Amino acid sequence: MRTLPRRLGVAIVVAAIVVLLSIKLNSFRDYQIAEIAFEVTAVAGLTVLTGLSGQISLGHAAFMAIGGYTTALLLLHLAWPFYAALLVAAVVTAVAGAVVGAAAARLRGPYLAGATLLLGVALPAIAYAWPATFGGDQGLNVAFTTPAFLGVNFPPTRWLAWVATLVALIVLVLLANLNHSRVGRNWRAVRDDDVAAALDGINVAAARILAFVVSATCAGLAGALLAIVTTLVGPGSFTLTVSISLLTAAVLGGLGSLAGALWGSLVIILVPTYVTDVATSHGLSASVGSNIPIVAYGVLLILVMLVFPQGIQGGLTRLFSLFFSGPDQKPRTWRTAPTPHVTPSADQAPASQHEKEGTL
Amino acid sequence: MVEFLQFTLSGIVFGMIYAAIALSLVLIWRGTRLLNFAQGGMAMFTTYVGIEVIYKTHSYWAGFVIALAAGLVLGAVCELTVVRPTTGKPPLNAVIVTIGLLILLEGLAGIFFGGQYRSFPAAFSIIGLRVGGTPIGVSRFDVFVAVAVLIATLALAAAFRYTAAGLRMRAAAFNATIARLSGIRVARVLTVGWALAGLLGALAGVLVSPSTFLYPNSMDAIFVYGFTAAVIGGLDSAVGAVVGGLILGVVLSYAGGYVGGSVGSDLTSLVALGILVAVLMIRPDGLFAGARMRRV
């Protein structure tokens, strides 16, 4: 249990850094901090689902949408305080995660990918079908004010950055503890070999469903944060692109690693704006300038996956072990992305080295 | 009754397009055990190539043929350059690489061809055909769409069944190690598989674009439904891909037609989700999944 104070310590240090940064930086950067905070909340949940329990979700934006719309409706119609709406959003998405997880527990690899992909596409369509409740294409506006004790002149984006960071850090600490508990061990056992896990007395279906519940709750919290940070929830906030970018961030950072979730979120949020800045400052034409970030993002994804197969965190761990503990020491296995079946045995080798019936 | 016939026929036409995308995904899945997320992006890109050729030559068929050829080349190039290096890495990496490829292609299309919506010409009249004065809901071009996909499917099936190259491809997909031991160059076979998938995708792109407009994201929805069709049918089955595409096309056509108004078209994706969940709850590996040992 000595790890708990250590994790709390790390969280407090990060919180202090964020507070300092948010005071030093301008309001646009504060907004980006808030964006990174809700992004990392969702990505951390997804990395637990995919990296630790071995289930893929290509529709995680659907859970963000559930959390976001729940928050927006509660704030809009009932004028609840945000923390109460946040808790309700977490409960509602947990229930949704249980439903989806129960259906998903039977599915494997690409079939689960297909079902969740379509879930991510279909759920935001409900907003179009019932515009009276969900505001249709326009979405719902969310009013969020800074508390009175901070004074009138306190920048709202700074307060948003603080709130979002606080929620993100609480989620990360809880997830880190969960991963190291019996629950996390069960997930990894189920991921690596579900038959062996079942023989060891683990309830495989329950472990899978629980992973979906935890992951969906994180996404729901992220959606609630997105609602207050962007002051708007609409179908456009939860598109297929968002779902895909969540998975991309998780794998890019290093699947199954919470630190990796942070690296992935930083890349997803910061790289496009950075490249856009560079492109516009070089006076490129609009059609080229607006597409350069997209091209750069695509190339970056491909390169990182080919050069650092274990993601950014895996690359960092390797560098770190080179410098400090000698190349022989293996990194702790749960931190690195799972590679259970990358080299298939000869008797059941698939057509290429790609996994025969694994995650995808 | 007439309405029912109209919805069925137009559903079949869209179903054939979903089937083409689904088939291309199945081709790649069987060979490389990889979901190619760039399939829609590749189709979009080759369709742009086609429309540029049509503008230059004023010939639809020149554009049609060159788009298909571009699909072949693009499929092979993608496999050789970015997909093959993912061999031996965690399987999700290959998926992310294809997502990166999709984003890259969409960005490049924006740079080379511009982001605005373009209309794509149809090979034949798009005025609805009539039988004895009653419109049957499909046009000459729709008939061409269905026939073109059907011919491509049958040609592929025949090639797999009756040619030596087809036998090699089936052997490589069945068991790569043994195929390699019997002298088949599995890597080359995989490249050919990707090229054929690129061709099918290009065909789907050229055929669907007259009814959807062409823009860098225009194939996203088609890809999602093609993927859904492949999952419904079972990713290992070519027959399943076609059947899945037709089921999806027809049911979505009924949903859009009978529910009516904007609600109907908004809910198509929910209806598709309903079909997919219903099928997967009964058969978790799709309708045409082969027998497979799986306990727990």
pLDDT tens digits, B28-83: 888 778 889 999 999 999 999 999 999 999 888 999 999 999 999 999 999 999 88
Predicted pLDDT of residue A358 = 41
Nearest residue in B to A285, CA atom:
B111
DSSP single-letter state for residue B80: I
On chain B, the residues whose CB falls within 8 A of the CB of A255 are 90, 92
Nearest residue in B to A338, CA atom:
B90
Q: Using a CB–CB cutoff of 8 Å, tell me whether B49 touches chain A.
A: no
One-letter identity of residue A250 = A
With CA atoms as reference, report the closest residue to A221 among A16, A71, A49.
A71
- Secondary structure E strands in B23-100: none
CB atoms within 10 A of CB B197: 29
Give the C-alpha distances (Å, rounded to integers) separating B54 from A87, B148, B203, B204, B210. 57, 19, 15, 17, 13
The predicted model scores a pTM of: 0.83
Burial class (CB in 10 A: 0-12, 13-18, 19+), A157: buried
Two tokens, residue A334: 């749960």
Q: In angstroms, how far is the first alpha carbon of chain A from the final one?
A: 36
Predicted pLDDT of residue A312 = 86
d(Cα A93, Cα A87) in Å, to the nearest integer? 10
d(Cα A349, Cα A344) in Å, to the nearest integer? 5
Given the cut 0.90, state whether the ipTM is greater than it.
no
d(Cα A66, Cα A97) in Å, to the nearest integer? 10
pLDDT tens digits, B102-133: 999 998 998 888 878 888 888 777 777 777 77
With CA atoms as reference, report the closest residue to A113 among A260, A243, A255.
A243
Phi then psi for residue A140, to 5 deg, are -115, 135
Domain annotation for chain A: domains and CATH numbers = 3-340 (1.10.3470)
Q: Do B91 and A122 touch (CB under 8 A)?
A: no
Our CA dihedral for B10, B14, B17, B22, rounded to 10 degrees, sits at -130
One-letter identity of residue A10 = V
CB within 8 Å of chain A, chain B residues 120-179: 172-177, 179
On chain B, the residues whose CB falls within 8 A of the CB of A186 are none
d(Cα A222, Cα A220) in Å, to the nearest integer? 5
**How much is the mean pLDDT over chain B?**
86
**Among A109-123, A229-243, A338-352, B204-218, which stretch is predicted with the lowest mean pLDDT?**
A338-352
Helical spans, DSSP H, in A105-239 = 109-122, 125-129, 131-134, 156-179, 182-192, 194-199, 204-230
Q: Are B203 and B148 in contact (CB under 8 A)?
A: yes
Q: Do B91 and A354 touch (CB under 8 A)?
A: yes
Predicted pLDDT of residue A348 = 42
Average pLDDT over residues A141-150: 76
- Nearest-CA distance from A305 to chain B in Å? 6
Nearest residue in A to B98, CA atom:
A302
Tell how strand A232-233 and strand B134-139 pair up. Answer: unpaired
pLDDT tens digits, B197-242: 999 999 999 999 888 888 888 888 899 999 999 999 888 888 889 9
